[in-house]
Chain A
């Protein structure tokens, strides 16, 4: 433990590397997080959200600004709430390729490929 403490103190006396270092014996997530937790934290740091943790971005749904639907496959189920407070959700499969429109309100949806970190 003394070694860890001294090496931690030495390397922090000058510039700290980007990210955070163990300061006085307690590791950081950068050093110790593992598995899915590590992958989510690393992705969020790069501004990506492969595991859909954050609220999806808002789009207007027009032809020029379609709803972007990330997918790990070549199709994904979409549920369209055509208007706020609607209780009936319009479900349809969104396939890759040309943007599709909601059969009820006509909003545009486009499937975009999305890789999972591994």
Chain B
């Protein structure tokens, strides 16, 4: 019997990296086609292929780890490093938008009236919905930690309840933010204020949706008994991502909503 004498996972050949790369090509060229020829077909095709790639690739990882036992302690360690490095790269992504915001707001140009917020901009009251949003995300950080402890202590019902509550709070944030976007007295086209506000909060909102999706997958997996009280890295990765999303919001709230108002 030819068994490996090491604890690492030599992955079987897979088509998903190729389909992922093809979808990236279709989405980018599709974006150019949309801008020049008004057709969204290519880009939509790329998006569908991307969604299929993500679904099947991550499904395969779950099969390899949970059902086939390939995720030994060293493999798990590698996955942890991977998630940490990915979140770090996302931190730098947001750092760029904060840089843009501070660049424009610390030394406002004469075109803006030499002041921040610029002349003519009615900012949102930071102590209304934005403060509620802050409370919602902070609470969701508590519930996700509750869920983690429940899993570690073997408490199935509590784990399901606290994880579901976390996801509901995430949806509540998204709904509130969507309403804020609809009701806002300024748009993305309103100078550098509008640009920095909507790009920074917009990407944050996208990350909330991504994080909520990740947590929902964890909820489904927990319902299907995938996690053990010792080994539940998928959940830990989702929780790390969720805390990251929460921290980004805190910086957004302090910088753009509060100081910037």
Contact = CB atoms under 8 A, between A and B. Distances in A.
B and A form one assembly: yes
Interface of A: 1, 5, 20, 22-29, 31-38, 40-41, 50-53, 72, 116, 118
Interface string B76-105: 000000000000000000000000000000
B156 A33 contact: no
B71 interface: yes
Q: DSSP class of B's interface residues: helix, strand, loop or mixed?
A: loop
A40 to B, nearest CB: 5
Interface residues of B, number: 28
Contacts, number: 84
Given A24-B154, A27-B225, A28-B230, A34 B6 contact: no
A25 B3 contact: no
Contacts of A34: 67-69
Interface string B120-164: 000000000000000000000000000000010111110100000
Nearest to B222: A26
Contacts of B207: none
B229 interface: yes
B7 A27 contact: no
Contacts of A116: 3, 5
Contact of B159 (A20, A26, A35, A36): A26
Please name the 10 residue pairs, one residue from A and one from B, whose CB atoms are nearest each other, closest first: A35-B69, A25-B156, A23-B154, A34-B69, A37-B69, A51-B7, A26-B154, A29-B230, A24-B155, A40-B72
Interface in B215-233: 225, 227-231
A28 B229 contact: yes
Interface in B1-49: 1, 3-7, 9
A24 B70 contact: no
B70 A37 contact: yes
B69 A23 contact: no
A36 to B, nearest CB: 5
Contacts of A35: 68-70
Of B73, B74, B155, B159, most buried by chain A (CB within 10 Å of CB) is B73
A37 B73 CA distance: 7
Nearest to A51: B7
B159 A72 contact: no
Contacts of A118: 1, 3
A23 B67 CA distance: 22
Contact of A53 (B1, B74, B231): B74
A5 to B, nearest CB: 8
Contact of A33 (B69, B153, B154, B225): B69
Nearest to B232: A26
B72 A37 contact: yes
B3 A53 contact: no
B75 to A, nearest CB: 8
Given A23-B155, A31-B228, A38 B3 contact: no
B225 A53 contact: no
Contact of A23 (B1, B71, B153, B231): B153
B155 A36 contact: no
B131 to A, nearest CB: 36
Given A28-B229, A33-B228, 17 more contacts: A24-B156, A25-B154, A26-B156, A26-B159, A27-B225, A28-B154, A28-B228, A29-B228, A33-B231, A34-B67, A35-B68, A36-B70, A36-B72, A52-B5, A52-B6, A53-B7, A118-B3
